[in-house]
Structure 1
Amino acid sequence: MLFKSLLIAAACAVGLQASAQGLVPLPPQPDGVAWPTESWPEGEVPAGIDEELSLLVRDAMATSVTEPMGQTRAIIIIHEGRLISESYADGFGPDTKQVSWSMAKSITSALVGRAVEIGLIEDIDYVMPTPFPEGDPRGEITWRQWLTMTDGLDYLEIGSTGLADNDVVQMMYGPGRFDVAQHIVDEFELAHDPGAVWNYSTAGFHLISWALQKLHEDTLHCSHLPHGECAEAMGLYERKAWARDLHAYLLFDQIGMDAQPEFDAAGTFLGGSLVWASARDFAKFGYLYLRDGVWEGERLLPEGWVDFSRRNPVSTKVNVYGAGWWLGADPAPEPAGQAATTPPFDAFSAQGHEGQTIWIVPSKDLVIVRLGLMPNGGDNWPRLYEWNQSVARLFPDVPNQEVSSAEGEG
């Protein structure tokens, strides 16, 4: 046990040095390995780790909702482009669509990246379209500030004391449930200068989804009408049909991901919370990021977008969040408790309510998907963080992985 502690301490020192220097490069597609567009190629667990990996997977699959880390419903492990481990709880399987919860934020961030890549968004430092009235200072917040949760709105989600003061609950299941965008306009004023303070916000990502839909409306040539009239002219069915046009942004068809978004009654895609997909498809999405936004030789996301997503906004004290993605590990996370504290420190992740994670580790050429059901309180999230890190530590480092100092601002 002492030896293990010394190893982790040594790795922490290396991680701190790497963090100061820059990002671990994203590994390229291995030669001779097929892209998983149609199905995942299968592979073997690396020699020498099979027993320990099987134990970690078995223990995770054995826990109940009331135990630490909760119930695990699916585990997928992708190493060097191949599926090497797959487990499901009773009633779940490879084709079962499961809810993303806030992993949807990472998907919505990717949709913005795709819109940048194909020229629908010229610059993320430009003002993002919003439903705020003309002259409202909230209408001057940029794409970057929304993506990095530095929008400055007076909004409370993490740190709420109950359902009554939790703004996401009131927005999605209380008075705002029929029209989340209008609820945001009515309820959340500016509390800080945009760009200065990080504050976790599902509301912000719902507005990003609203803005992407606004871009779609403009392409349907009704941008000369006010937003509400444009939506009415399109018809609610056509507005919700925007789900099929996600391919125009991220090209889900190209990565073979069958994703089903949810919408509120006003037709706004709930891009901060609700996308349904199978564990294998969530793994494909993680793999797109592991491969730097490139798929089958085609760049789907702008060069540098993934690095932008996995780097904290330097304008704040926060070191656990990038642009729609959690920065998976830091020896001293700020805010405390919002990240793993053990190596590998290059991990970054999509995370969702009740224990959904897509854990990406470039230094190991690894994607780990865990879907489940667990309470958000207590020691559950730290246990889940450490479980992912314990799995990752079993794998060998990718050869010749030198830390990059490139800024990758997107």
Structure 2
Amino acid sequence: MKYFLVLILVVSLLNCSNEEEIITTTSSGDESTYFPPINSNEWETKSPESLNWNTSNLNDLYTFLEEKNSKSFIILHKGKIVVEYYMNNHTEASLWYWASAGKTLTTAVTGIAQDNAFLNINNKVSDYLGTGWTNATLEQENLITCKNLLNMTSGLDDTLGDDTSPGNLQYLSDANTRWAYHNVYVKLQDIVASATNQTWNNYFESALKNRIGMSGSWIPLNDLSVYWSNTRSMARFGLLSSKNGKWDNTQVISESFLDQATNTSQNINNAYGYLWWLNGKQNFHLPQSQIQFNGELIPNAPTDMYCALGKNDQKIYIIPSKDLVLVRMGNTADSDNFGLSTFDNDLWEKINNVIN
């Protein structure tokens, strides 16, 4: 009899291995992560009740989101959709801009290019773009590495607007001596293009977008290109990041690079990685300010949270301890901002009323 039961178990396991999108379990019985299929709109869901969430507060969260000019909101748990809500004439198919939350896409692709030995973030920017890419002296310019663009310590003047032409990239201090939110990070896209001998768009699509089934495209806006996609594509990228750069059984971005990217990257702004914002630090700096603020970035949010924050409240929140990814797209909740706003803390108060 026991041999018969073993045979049944083996056959069952073989059958499961041939089915797509099967959710396996670990030895402890914990549900493993689900990854939605790359070439399909299908996405498995689970109910808030299955997580013992306080569903009586969901309507309050939805009302708050709608009143704060949101267009979409998603919560993933272990990859499955638990909450997906569209409002203010937005739908699952609608496209919206990521704004500076899309900086983290540049981080990811830079990491992939380094993983594939096309570049090294510790090298000088001029190794890839040639000298004269700034208005600084050669000595000053040669201090600036790719890593300085990733962690906002280039030392270039951040008060001169979005233009990243050489004449507008003026020296203010030596690299690594000053943290300042600066659109010079976009030069990383030129670095990737030069290093890979491809256009930025082509490398982005083959290295990242197509490998995780994202929609969307880069659309020029003033002196920058801004990424537009549907909300689920933003959630896909959040899921990849939350799983240490792994999509299903494929390591898309190395875990070591993402670990660097999502931890403090310099000794000035503790709440900043490689274009990712970090919660739970003792102090932080904000864009267009050299003031150090004491306390956590978003006090109501989990301390281990890291996030992509875009202008007018585009958000990707990742909480490793809870295995959650949250996405918010929409118009500005209250007033124009670079990414972080009081809305973050107010939103997390509402979220906590549901998930805790």
What's the TM-score once normalised by structure 1's chain length?
0.68
Superposition pairs for residues 382-397 of structure 1, below 5 Å?
382-388=342-348, 390-391=350-351, 394-395=354-355
Cα gap change, 1:126/1:197 in structure 2, threshold over 3 Å: closer, same or farther? same
1:319 to 2:270 alignment:
yes
Partner of 1:43: 46
1:214 to 188, 191, 194: 194
SS at match of 2:233: helix
Cα gap change, 1:54/1:209 in structure 2, threshold over 3 Å: closer, same or farther? same
Deviation at 1:104, TM superposition (A): 1.5
Deviation at 1:167, TM superposition (A): 1.2
Deviation at 1:333, TM superposition (A): 3.5
1:249 to 202, 207, 226: 207
**Paired letter, 1:385:** N
Q: Deviations over 1:46-66 (max 9, x none)?
A: 2242122332123211x1xxx
Q: Distance in 2 between matches of 1:262 and 1:377?
A: 21
Partner of 2:140: 137
Note if contact 1:101-1:353 (Cα within 8 Å) is conserved in structure 2: yes
Runs of 5+ consecutive residues of structure 1 not aligned to the other structure = 1-28, 64-69, 157-165, 172-179, 220-238, 397-410
Q: Distance in 2 between matches of 1:71 and 1:264?
A: 22
How many residues are treated as equivalent by the alignment? 308
Q: Compare 75-84 and 368-377 and name the one that shifted more.
A: 368-377
1:52 to 52, 57, 75: 57
SS at match of 1:167: coil
> Which has a greater percent of strand?
2
Q: Compare 323-332 and 130-139 and name the one that shifted more.
A: 130-139
Deviation at 1:95, TM superposition (A): 1.2
Partner of 1:288: 240
Runs of 5+ consecutive residues of structure 2 not aligned to the other structure = 1-29, 286-291
Q: Deviations over 1:310-342 (max 9, x none)?
A: 1122332x1221101111344543443992123
Note if contact 2:271-2:283 (Cα within 8 Å) is conserved in structure 1: no
Cα gap change, 1:392/1:131 in structure 2, threshold over 3 Å: closer, same or farther? farther
Note if contact 2:271-2:281 (Cα within 8 Å) is conserved in structure 1: yes
1:127 to 2:124 alignment:
yes
Q: Percent sequence identity over matched residues?
A: 21
Q: Which protein has the larger Cα radius of gyration, Structure 1 or Structure 2?
A: 2
**Paired letter, 1:326:** W
**Paired letter, 1:31:** S
Q: Distance in 2 between matches of 1:376 and 1:149?
A: 22
Q: Distance in 1 between matches of 2:338 and 2:105?
A: 27
SS at match of 1:92: coil
Partner of 1:155: 158
* Higher RCO structure, 1 or 2 (CA under 8 Å, sep 6+): 1
Cα gap change, 1:57/1:329 in structure 2, threshold over 3 Å: closer, same or farther? farther
Note if contact 2:310-2:338 (Cα within 8 Å) is conserved in structure 1: no
Note if contact 1:329-1:342 (Cα within 8 Å) is conserved in structure 2: no
Q: Distance in 2 between matches of 1:331 and 1:103?
A: 23
Partner of 1:177: none
Q: Distance in 2 between matches of 1:249 and 1:295?
A: 13
